[in-house]
Structure 1
Amino acid sequence: MTNTVTTYVRDEYSVLADVIMCEPRHMAIKEVINEMQKQHASANINIEKAILQHNQLSAVIQEFGASVHFLPASAFLPEQVFTRDIGFVIDEKLIVSNMGASIRLEETKALADWYERRYGSCFYLKKGTIEGGDVMLSDDLLFIGQSSRTSGEGLEELQQMCPHKQIIPLHFDHRHLHLDCIFNIVASATAIVYEPAFEADSLAAVKQRFNIISVPDEEQARLGTNVFSLGRRHIISLPENMHVNKQLREYGFIVHEVPYDEIIKSGGSFRCTTLPLRRVEKIINKERNVEQ
C-alpha cells in the first residue's frame, strides 16, 4: 500500500518535510564497531537518558513543521537509532545501503520492509559496500566518503544508478567512521569540516566548492560536523560545541542547541539519527505530525 508522501531529496539543506527516525529503546554497545564506542563500552548507554534526548530532537524537528516517521525499534538491533546509515534518498529514489558492518545488516531489511509497505519499491546496490553516512548531496554533486565502510566498488555502482550526478570521492583517515563525522554541507556554498582528517587532494576539492567552518579538535571529539539542517538556515547542533555554533551564527544560521551526549557515545550524532525522506523548497505550515 502506498500513501501521499513523495520521496525527494536533492541536498542536505532544503526545508525538511519528512524524516525517518528510530527510538533508542534497545540501544547498546554490544559489539564495538567504531572508535567512539571503544571509549564508552564499559559504561555503555543509559537508555532512559538516550530516549529523552532523542525525544527532544524529534520535538524540535516537529516544531519546525516536518513529519517524523518512526521505524519499529527491535530488541535485536542495538544500532538501529542510526537510521542515516542504512539508506539514503537521491532525488526520488530511496537506496538501501550495503552495510560494511555485519551487525547492521538486519537493519536494512527492516527499513526496506517498512518503506515498501508504505511508499513503493526501494532501490538496491548489488556490489561493494556503501553506507548513508558516507553520502552527501548538493544538487547534482554527490560527495562520497571512501571510508572503511564504503568501497570503491560501491561508489562505482552508485554512479551507474545515478548517471546524471557528478560523484566526488573524498578520502580521509579511517579512524573516522563516516564522511559525516568530518564533513557536512549546511548551505549551497557552506560546509563544516574537520580539516586534519582529509587527504590533501580531497580537502582541496572541498575548499574549491565551499566556504569552510572549521571544527577544532575538542569539538571534533563530540562530532562537531554532525549537525542536522532543518532548512532555511536552521541548524540543530550540540550545546557543547560552542566554537562551531558561534561560527554558524556568524554565517547567518539559526542554531537550535539540543543535548545529545548519550547517543554520541555510540559513535553518531544528529545527522546519523535522521534519514530525510523528503525535502522541499518552501516552509511547511502544518500542525505537528507524527507517524508510528
Structure 2
Amino acid sequence: MKLNIQNETSRLRAVVLGTAESCGPTPKVEECYDPKSIQHVLAGTYPREEDMILEMEAVAQILKKYDVTVYRPDVLKDCNQIFSRDIAFVIEDKIIKANILPNRDKEIEAIRYVWNKIEKKNRIILPKECHVEGGDVMPCNDYIFIGTYTGNDYPDIITARTNIQAVHAIQELFPHKKIKAFELRKSNTNPKENALHLDCCFQPIGKGKAIIHKNGFLNESDYKWLVNFFGKENMFEITQGEMCDMYSNIFSISEDVIISEQNFIRLNKWLREQGFTVEEVPYAEIGKQEGLLRCTTMPLIRD
C-alpha cells in the first residue's frame, strides 16, 4: 500500500475506522483516561456498546457513499478500539506507531494486517521516551501542527498525551517540514478545561478555513498564530461548551465534504453557508468518551 497524507482535507481514498464491537463493560472511574468519561461513569450515562456500533456504522456508510476504502480493526474481546487515531497516524508515505498508554498497546495488533501492507521502511516506531497520539498531529501541507504539553507535572496529567521528545522526533523524520507545536490546556478533572488533543480545540477544514477554541491553548500567542495563519475571517470560533461537545472534531472527506455530528446546529449551518456539503451523523454517544469523528478515523491515502 502506498500511503499519502499531506493535509487534513484532500480527497480521502482509504481510511481505518475504529470499531465499537466488544468494547467491554462500563469502566470504573480509576480505569478512565479522561475527565469526560469519568463524568459519564459517575452520572450513569456512559455510552452503551449497541448505540456506539450504530453510530460508527452510520459513518462507515457515508465513507462508502464517497467510494472510500474502509479498513476496520480485528475485534478484540472486551477492548475499546473506537479511537483508531490514537494508535497510529500517517504523514506523507509513512505510518508512525503512537506510543500510547501502555495498556492500549494491543490495539495496534488489531490493525496489523494494514500495517503489513505498507513497505517496511515506511513503518516508523518512535523511541520509547517519545509519547504521542494521532489526535495531536496534523499535517498541513508545508507544516505539521502538533499539540503538546511541557509542564513539570506532565507525568501526573493523564490527559497529556504528546511530549516534546515526540515533537523533536517528528521534526527529525520530516526535516523538510515546518513543525509548529502548540501548548494545550490540560485538566484531569474538568472536561471544559481540557483539550485532550489538538483536534479537541482546533482543526483545519477545506477552503482555507478552520475551527478553533481559544481557551484550549495554554498560551494566547499560539491561538493568535493560528488566527493570523488562517485569517480571522476564515475561523469558526467555538465556545467552551462546544469544545466540550467536540465541535472541532469533525472529519473532512474532501475540500468541500465534511462529516459532522447532527446536533452541531450552529456549526453545520455555518459550514453550509461557506459552501460545504455536510453529511450529518449521530455521534453523541461516542462523544461521551472525549473523542469524536476525527478521533475514530485514521486516514491512509488522500489524493
TM-score under structure 1 length normalisation: 0.89
Q: How far off is 1:188 after superposition?
A: 5.7
Q: 1:102 maps to what in 2?
A: 102
Q: How far off is 1:10 after superposition?
A: 0.3
Identity within the alignment, %: 31
Q: 1:165 maps to what in 2?
A: 177
Quick one: which amino acid aligns to residue 159 of structure 1? Q
CA contact (8 A) 1:189 1:209 kept: no
CA contact (8 A) 1:16 1:279 kept: yes
SS at match of 2:275: coil
Q: 1:289 maps to what in 2?
A: none
Q: 2:157 maps to what in 1?
A: none
Quick one: which amino acid aligns to residue 136 of structure 1? M
CA contact (8 A) 1:214 1:244 kept: no
Q: 1:283 maps to what in 2?
A: none
Counterpart of 1:246 (choices 269, 272, 283) is 269
Q: How far off is 1:252 after superposition?
A: 1.6
Q: In the aligned structure 2, how far is the partner of 1:120 from the partner of 1:51?
A: 32
Q: How far off is 1:222 after superposition?
A: 1.2
CA contact (8 A) 1:14 1:230 kept: yes
CA contact (8 A) 1:22 1:72 kept: no
SS at match of 1:160: helix
Q: In the aligned structure 2, how far is the partner of 1:169 from the partner of 1:76?
A: 35
The Cα offsets for residues 14-46 of structure 1, whole Å up to 9 and x where unpaired, read as 000000112201224521100110111243321
Counterpart of 1:203 (choices 223, 227, 239) is 223
The Cα offsets for residues 204-254 of structure 1, whole Å up to 9 and x where unpaired, read as 111111121111233222100000000031011111111111221222211
Counterpart of 1:22 (choices 18, 21, 24) is 18
5+ long unaligned stretches in structure 1: 281-292
Q: How far off is 1:120 after superposition?
A: 2.9
Q: In the aligned structure 2, how far is the partner of 1:10 from the partner of 1:207?
A: 21
Quick one: which amino acid aligns to residue 253 of structure 2? L
CA contact (8 A) 1:215 1:243 kept: no
Quick one: which amino acid aligns to residue 249 of structure 1? R
Q: 1:40 maps to what in 2?
A: 40
Q: In the aligned structure 2, how far is the partner of 1:173 from the partner of 1:277?
A: 29
CA contact (8 A) 2:7 2:139 kept: yes
RMSD: 1.5
Matches within 5 A, 1:133-282: 133-147=135-149, 148-174=160-186, 175-187=194-206, 189-198=208-217, 199-210=219-230, 211-280=234-303
Matches within 5 A, 1:6-155: 6-28=2-24, 29-30=26-27, 31-41=31-41, 42-78=44-80, 80-99=81-100, 101-111=101-111, 113-121=112-120, 122-126=123-127, 127-147=129-149, 148-155=160-167
Q: How far off is 1:162 after superposition?
A: 0.9
5+ long unaligned stretches in structure 2: 150-159, 187-193
Q: In the aligned structure 1, how far is the partner of 2:161 from the partner of 2:260?
A: 25
SS at match of 1:33: coil
Q: How far off is 1:109 after superposition?
A: 4.0
Q: How far off is 1:108 after superposition?
A: 2.9
